[in-house]
Amino acid sequence: MIAPFTARLPMQLHLSTWPEVETYLARSKAILIPIGSTEQHGPNGLLGTDALCPEIIARRVGDEAGILVGPTFNVGQAQHHMSFPGTITLRPSTMIASMVDWAQSLARHGFERIYWLNGHGGNIATITAAFSEIYHGVSFDRSGANHPPLRCSLRNWWEVPGVTQYLFPDHIKSAELDPSIAPSGRFYDAVDYRRRFPDGRIGSDPSQASIEAGEKIVTMAVKGVIAEFKQFAAS
C-alpha cells in the first residue's frame, strides 16, 4: 500500500520553501537558531561538538513541537583553541555583525522572536553584545515604536559529549586520556592554552560519556527547550 500523502511542513528552514515559511509566519513569529562553534574538543571529541549538540536538540524540538529551526550558526569564539588543527574562529566584531544580519533578515520577513540555542560557553559574551547591537539598531531607528518588537533570547546548551555519541555512534573516537580528568585554570591566547592544556581538555573526563546518557540528556533538553520557547514566543 502506498503511504498517504501528508502535507506536513518541514521544520528546518533550509529544507523549506518560501511559501512554507510564509505559511509558518501566519501562525508563529518565532524561530529557533542553534549556535555553536567549530573547535577542538580534546583527543576524542568531534570538532563540531558545540554546534552539533544544540542542532540535535533543535531538530527534535522542531519535529516534536512544530517550531521552525534556522540554519546552525556553527562558527563562534574559539581563538583560544587555535593551536589545535581544525579549529575555526570568528573575531567578536565579525560574529556580532553576522548575528545582526541574520536577525535583521529574519525580522524583515516578520519574525519577532529569535531563540538562540547556544552550545559554546565562549560565545556567551559575544552573543550578549550582538543582542545589544540588534536592539541599538531598533532604538536608533526613528520610526522606533512603529516597528514590531524584535526580541532575542539566549539559552546555553553546555558541552555534553554523550549527545554527539548518541547521534553519530559510528564516529565515536577513542584515545588514551592522561590524566583521565584534565587540569583546569585560566588561559589567554591560543599558544598559552595549548601549553596549559596539552590535549585540549579543561577539567573534563570524556570517559563518562555514553550513548545512553546522551539519549537521556537530549530527551530532557528537548522537553525543557520546547517549554521555554513557547513561553518566549508568547511573551
Distance of CA 118 to the CA centre of its chain: 4
Q: State the residue for C-alpha cell 539598531.
A: 137
Complex with Zn ion: residue 120 or 201, whichever CB lies closer: 120
* Minimum gap (Å) between residue 59 Cβ and Zn ion: 20
Complex with Zn ion: residue 10 or 43, whichever CB lies closer: 43
For residue 133, give Cα distances in angstroms to 37, 136, 144. Answer: 21, 5, 15
Question: Residue of minimal CB distance from Zn ion?
Answer: 120
CB 103 within 8 A of CB 152: yes
Complex with Zn ion: residue 32 or 47, whichever CB lies closer: 47
Complex with Zn ion: residue 41 or 113, whichever CB lies closer: 41
Q: State the residue for C-alpha cell 515604536.
A: 145
Complex with Zn ion: residue 59 or 80, whichever CB lies closer: 80
* Minimum gap (Å) between residue 34 Cβ and Zn ion: 14
Closest by alpha carbon to 52, among 203, 148, 165?
165
Positions in the binding site for Zn ion (CB under 5 A): 50, 120
* Minimum gap (Å) between residue 71 Cβ and Zn ion: 19
Q: Looking at this protein, which amino acid is placed at residue 39?
A: E
* Minimum gap (Å) between residue 92 Cβ and Zn ion: 15
* Minimum gap (Å) between residue 36 Cβ and Zn ion: 8
Closest by alpha carbon to 164, among 111, 110, 223, 209?
209
CB 37 within 8 A of CB 75: yes
* Minimum gap (Å) between residue 28 Cβ and Zn ion: 30
Tell me: cis bond preceding 43? Omega within 30 of 0 counts: no
CB 121 within 8 A of CB 39: no
Q: Which strand ranges, in their side-by-side order, compose the sheet holding 151-156?
A: 30-35, 113-118, 151-156
Complex with Zn ion: residue 113 or 120, whichever CB lies closer: 120
For residue 191, give Cα distances in angstroms to 123, 198, 201. Answer: 20, 10, 14
